[in-house]
Amino acid sequence: MSFTHNFSANTGYLWKELSFIDRLAIAKKYGFESLEFHDEPHYENLSELQSILSKLELPVNGMNVRMGETFGCAALSEYNEKYLNDINDAVEIATALNIPAIHVMSGITNADDANETFISSLNYALENSTQIILIEPVCNEQLPGYFLKTVEQASVILKTINHPRLKILFDCYHVYKESENLMDAFAKHVSNIGHVQISAAENRAEPHPGILNYSKILPQMEALGYEGAFGCEYRPQATTEDGLVWRDNFLRDIR
């Protein structure tokens, strides 16, 4: 099976020294096949953003709800009204920009009602959208106290809600930190994975071969049935453009 790559530039991590709008154009310049956003579109002029994306002809794979100080609030019952506004705004933006997926973030909480609140919030999102709704397990090392920590926990939530548009955002770094074996976890949950993100296991940097060898991992994911983009959500060690040699090395290694 040949590997068909679609690398998605994550605007929350790449070219952070530039404005959000400038990050879009430079991602196109440096050959990314698509984009993915954090919550930046919530703070931009929607009509202007529509025009820019139309000219660039770069598809956008997904976007976050507003992140804020709690990194989302879908599992925080005291923020229920804010969450409803946030998801409604995200759906409006995603619809206008033709973005197929919205990442609903649980937020930082250890409240007793967090799981019940999160499930209720996800049901609201599904009932009031046509987009795929993504939930992402985030490891404790990177974001202590985040409610949704493991891919196993996410899977239980998916089974509870049982909706075809609810999927897992499988960030390899986070899953690796919380699971014993990355590919075992992927294979077990592949039918419920809506998007994949990549970075090095070492310092969440460029995905050069290391503990996680993506020249082997990504073709294996496609062989298991994954057909989506691979989100480049990593922290560049120097300038973003200087670090992009990893893509050339990747393509060389899979030939």
Sketch the domain layout of the chain as residue ranges.
7-254
Q: Encode pLDDT of 80-127 as tens digits.
A: 999 999 999 999 999 999 999 999 999 999 999 999 999 999 999 999
pLDDT computed for residue 147 by the predictor: 98
Look up residue 197 and give its amino acid.
Q
**pTM given for the model:** 0.97
**Cβ contact 212:172 at 8 Å:** yes
pLDDT computed for residue 4 by the predictor: 75
CATH architecture, domain defined by 7-254: Alpha-Beta Barrel (3.20)
Helix or strand holding residue 88 (H, E): helix 80-96
Query: CA-to-CA distance for 188 and 156, rounded, in angstroms?
Result: 13
**Cβ contact 190:226 at 8 Å:** yes
pLDDT computed for residue 254 by the predictor: 80
Residues of the chain with pLDDT under 50: 1
pLDDT computed for residue 2 by the predictor: 61
